[in-house]
């Protein structure tokens, strides 16, 4: 049987069924049946009694008639007047009527005709048959006497053997016998009637008792069913965790037992005016009103339990004043404290950042919408600040996410000290924060932006290290009136990008030209994907010059994007987006494959001098993501070039990561290096690499970051760093390359420092491969000329 099918025998609890109706109906039916039976029997018995009386009268009359017949015969026999034949006729017809039913004839001057039923009882019929025989014998004897025939010769039919031959005596004996049997028949009939009446009385008593018992049984069943139903209701009400309370003019008139479980308060304490004492003061008015007017609605109020805690109750109010069983207002309440708490928690979670506890993007957006709405009415100004932490990603990558989270918490706390209580500080995600300043003009917004940057200027102690962190702040001011939150947020974002572009640790106030300058940065990702499909990317090469020979000894392959929509897009704009969106992987593959193939072409054309290296940048994302080793080997194999003709430039960040990704990157680089692939550290000096890490890293060249090279002529610190970096490279036996060499002075300086290689606009801009081919051809010719 399917579990969904209910077996017919299964008891279904239905406390609301009208159980009382069927027993009542049964009681009424039993009463009706017993009454009908009783009345029917009474009618039948009364009718029978009436007949019995008539029969007894006629039977009794036979005795008198028999005696009258004898007198009449004797009178006629003596010659006097008499009518014995009439009496004999009446006797005979009456005897027949008594036996077989019919009309007993009237007796002159005495009775009327009487309708008689046929005799029923065996004894009764036997006696009446005997009577009929005796009447016959009597009449025959009387007739014989009157006709002067021998009386003793009359044939008798009633088995009598009369002991005398005296005619008169024989006649009198027969009359006595007739009289006697008639009397006995009458007695029998009367006895039968008496018995019928006794039987009827007995039956009536039995019926009465049976009816009473049946009624009692059904009544007991009704009471039992009612009790059970009441018990069901009581169980339902008392076992329910819901609180049921009824209110009348005198306050609470009933409260269900569940109150003890719910509040720990005894029922008695809540009855009468006591209920109000436990209701929260703020909710008392609403509860009083609900209990007074009884309008059906949902009501939420607080009741205090015996521990002093406030429990949230959600109640449905029903007006049952017209219900004669209740006569009051009924509150059916459930404890929803946990639900309310959960809802509050979920609401908080939905609108707050789990890490910092600050408002999240949704709440920020909501507050901004509200502020803009107010502003459109009042014309008040407001400002939005977007803050992006500089270098947060590196912290996350190098120190792990726990440290990153700690940093964000610290930043949130510091920002909290820089704002007014009415301002809304939010974390939009990652290292992006936003600030909504109401009633704020540009001056105030700038002040707070500066204050935010100032708060970050103090070093943050993180994982045992003192970290210095910067931020880029975008400021947009809404001067009042209607406005759209998405416009403000986009403008703040643009301003923030502008600040970031302008350098670290600064703010920028949005102006409309900024939008045009930066373009719609948010559309770049989509266009990047389109660009990949459309083949909008190409690889340029920037020559690297040996400072000793002034010859091109290598090139750095650089990705260039010529967007169909935007035109040429600087790598500084799209590379970070490619990295954050994962598009750096296909782009990295494209550069590597293209660079290897180009190296193969140059090699086949015989343009490459010995030890010429094509350098390809590999981002930290590519390295930690894994698969670089396989990709490099595939590219080398596809292009059929020697591993030594390819170099990989990696940043410090990529090699100092201590997590699993960092280990894998290190392992793969080591393997590639073992196979002959060259490795260079790019942007050296800007990351967090330590000498210890550098020592065990398979490196062939260190590239001094352009920021140091460009300051080498004027800034002693940059010069010192450059000097040390070059010395360091030489100390560990690798080449040093100066990046971003743009002037003869810079070239002179690095030359003096003993730098091995240089790269920069001074020698060549990144150019299409054809231009490099030309330069290589020139160089080849020059070398050939010199040889000649």
Partner 1 sequence: MILAAIFLVAAFAIHARGVSARPAELRVTERDFHISAPKQVASGDVVVTVTNQGPDDHELIIARATTARLPLRADGLTANEQKLAPATVLSLEPAGPGSVRTARLHLEPGRYVLFCNMAGHFMAGMRTTLVVRSR
Question: Could you list the residues that contact partner 1 (CB under 8 A)?
Answer: 123, 126-127, 129-130, 158-164, 169, 172-177, 179-181, 184, 187-188
- What's the closest the beta carbon of residue 124 comes to partner 1, in angstroms? 9
For residue 429, what are its two tokens? 């995600």
State which residue, 168 or 370, has the beta carbon closest to partner 1. 168
The CA distance from 781 to 785, in Å, is 6
Asked if residue 649 lies in contact with residue 655, where contact means CB atoms within 8 angstroms, the answer is: no
The CA distance from 403 to 431, in Å, is 13
The CA distance from 673 to 669, in Å, is 6
- What's the closest the beta carbon of residue 89 comes to partner 1, in angstroms? 23
- What's the closest the beta carbon of residue 153 comes to partner 1, in angstroms? 17
- What's the closest the beta carbon of residue 175 comes to partner 1, in angstroms? 8
Cβ neighbours around 295 below 10 Å, total: 12
- What's the closest the beta carbon of residue 103 comes to partner 1, in angstroms? 24
- What's the closest the beta carbon of residue 202 comes to partner 1, in angstroms? 21
What element of type H or E holds 243? Answer: strand 243-248
State which residue, 137 or 431, has the beta carbon closest to partner 1. 137
State which residue, 68 or 367, has the beta carbon closest to partner 1. 68
Tell me how many degrees the CA angle 28-34-35 measures, rounded to the nearest 5.
85
State which residue, 8 or 159, has the beta carbon closest to partner 1. 159
- What's the closest the beta carbon of residue 121 comes to partner 1, in angstroms? 11
State which residue, 94 or 645, has the beta carbon closest to partner 1. 94
Candidates 569, 659, 579; CA nearest to 617 is 579
State which residue, 132 or 737, has the beta carbon closest to partner 1. 132
Asked if residue 595 lies in contact with residue 557, where contact means CB atoms within 8 angstroms, the answer is: yes
The CA distance from 427 to 531, in Å, is 32
The CA distance from 286 to 279, in Å, is 10
State which residue, 169 or 378, has the beta carbon closest to partner 1. 169
Cα dist from 356 to 367, 413, 427, 679, whole Å = 18, 8, 8, 41
CA 521 to chain centre: 41
State which residue, 176 or 320, has the beta carbon closest to partner 1. 176
The CA distance from 423 to 358, in Å, is 12
> What are the b/e assignments for 721-730, b being 16+ CB within 10 Å?
bbbebbebbe
State which residue, 129 or 332, has the beta carbon closest to partner 1. 129
The CA distance from 636 to 632, in Å, is 6
3-state secondary structure of 246: strand
CA 429, 433, 437, 441: dihedral to nearest 10 degrees?
Answer: -130
- What's the closest the beta carbon of residue 184 comes to partner 1, in angstroms? 5
State which residue, 178 or 424, has the beta carbon closest to partner 1. 178
- DSSP string for 361-377: HHHHHHHHHHHHHHHHH
Candidates 594, 526, 597, 529; CA nearest to 559 is 594
For residue 683, what are its two tokens? 């942007």
- What's the closest the beta carbon of residue 220 comes to partner 1, in angstroms? 46
- What's the closest the beta carbon of residue 102 comes to partner 1, in angstroms? 21
């Amino acid at each position: 049987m399917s579990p969904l099918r209910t077996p017919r025998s299964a008891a279904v609890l239905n406390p609301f069924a009208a159980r009382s109706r069927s027993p009542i109906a049964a009681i009424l039916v039993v009463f009706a049946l017993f009454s009908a039976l009783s009345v029917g029997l009474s009618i039948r018995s009364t009718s029978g009694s009436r007949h019995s009386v008539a029969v007894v009268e006629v039977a009794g009359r036979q005795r008198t008639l028999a005696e009258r017949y004898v007198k009449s015969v004797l009178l006629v026999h003596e010659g006097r007047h008499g009518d014995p034949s009439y009496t004999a006729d009446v006797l005979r017809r009456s005897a027949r009527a008594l036996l077989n039913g019919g009309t007993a004839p009237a007796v002159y001057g005495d009775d009327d005709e009487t309708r008689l039923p046929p005799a029923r009882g065996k004894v009764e019929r036997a006696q009446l048959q005997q009577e009929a025989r005796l009447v016959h014998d009597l009449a025959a004897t009387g007739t014989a006497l009157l006709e002067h025939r021998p009386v003793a010769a009359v044939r008798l039919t009633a088995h009598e053997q009369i002991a005398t031959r005296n005619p008169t005596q024989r006649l009198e004996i027969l009359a006595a016998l007739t009289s006697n049997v008639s009397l006995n028949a009458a007695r029998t009939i009367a006895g039968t009637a008496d018995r019928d009446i006794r039987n009827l009385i007995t039956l009536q008593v039995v019926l009465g008792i049976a009816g009473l018992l049946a009624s009692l049984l059904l009544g007991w069943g009704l009471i039992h069913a009612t009790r059970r139903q009441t018990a069901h209701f009581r169980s339902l009400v008392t076992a329910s965790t819901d609180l049921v309370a009824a209110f009348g003019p005198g306050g609470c008139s009933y409260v269900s037992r569940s109150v003890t479980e719910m509040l720990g308060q005894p029922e008695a304490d809540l009855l009468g005016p006591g209920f109000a004492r436990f209701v929260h003061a703020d909710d008392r008015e609403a509860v009083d009103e609900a209990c007074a007017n009884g309008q059906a609605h949902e009501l939420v109020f607080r009741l205090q339990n015996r521990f002093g805690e406030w429990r949230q109750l959600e109640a449905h109010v029903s007006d049952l004043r017209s219900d004669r069983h209740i006569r009051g207002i009924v509150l059916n309440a459930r404890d929803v404290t946990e639900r309310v708490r959960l809802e509050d928690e979920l609401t908080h979670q939905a609108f707050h950042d789990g890490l910092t506890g600050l408002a999240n993007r949704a709440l920020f957006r909501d507050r901004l919408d509200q502020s803009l709405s107010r502003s459109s009415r009042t014309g008040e100004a407001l400002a939005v600040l977007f803050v992006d932490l500089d270098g947060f990603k590196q912290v996350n990558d190098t120190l792990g996410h726990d440290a990153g989270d700690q940093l964000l918490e610290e930043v949130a706390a510091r920002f909290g000290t820089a704002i007014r209580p009415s301002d809304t500080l939010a974390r939009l995600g990652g290292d992006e924060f936003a600030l909504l300043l109401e009633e704020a003009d540009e001056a105030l917004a700038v002040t707070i932006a500066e204050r935010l940057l100032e708060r970050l200027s103090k070093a943050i102690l993180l994982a045992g290290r003192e970290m210095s962190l910067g931020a880029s702040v975008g400021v947009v001011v809404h001067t009042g009136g209607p406005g759209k939150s998405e416009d403000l947020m986009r403008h703040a974002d643009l301003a923030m990008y502008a600040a970031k572009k302008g350098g670290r640790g600064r703010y920028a106030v949005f102006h409309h030209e900024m939008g045009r300058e930066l373009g719609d940065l948010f559309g770049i990702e989509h266009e990047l994907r389109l660009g990949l499909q459309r083949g909008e990317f190409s690889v340029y090469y920037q020559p690297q010059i040996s400072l000793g020979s002034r010859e091109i000894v290598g090139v750095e392959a650089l990705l260039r994007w010529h967007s169909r929509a935007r035109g040429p897009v600087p790598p500084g704009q799209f590379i970070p987006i490619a990295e954050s969106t994962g598009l750096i992987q296909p782009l990295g593959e494209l550069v590597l494959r293209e660079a290897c193939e180009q190296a193969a072409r140059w090699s086949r054309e015989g343009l490459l001098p010995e030890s010429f290296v094509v350098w390809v940048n590999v981002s930290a994302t590519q390295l930690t993501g894994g698969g670089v080793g396989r990709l490099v080997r595939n590219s080398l194999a596809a292009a059929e070039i020697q591993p030594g003709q390819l170099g990989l430039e990696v940043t410090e960040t990529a090699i100092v990561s201590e997590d699993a990704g960092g280990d894998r990157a290190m392992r793969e680089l080591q393997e590639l290096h073992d196979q002959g692939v060259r490795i260079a550290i790019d942007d050296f000096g800007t990351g967090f690499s330590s000498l210890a890490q550098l020592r065990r890293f398979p490196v062939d060249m260190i590239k001094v970051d352009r920021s140091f090279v460009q300051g080498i002529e004027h800034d002693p610190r940059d010069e010192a760093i450059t000097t040390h970096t070059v010395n360091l490279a030489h100390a560990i036996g690798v080449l040093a390359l100066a990046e971003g060499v743009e002037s003869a002075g810079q070239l002179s300086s690095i030359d003096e420092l003993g730098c091995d290689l240089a790269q920069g606009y001074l020698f060549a801009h990144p150019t299409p491969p054809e231009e490099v081919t030309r330069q290589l051809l020139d160089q080849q010719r020059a070398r050939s000329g010199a040889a000649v």
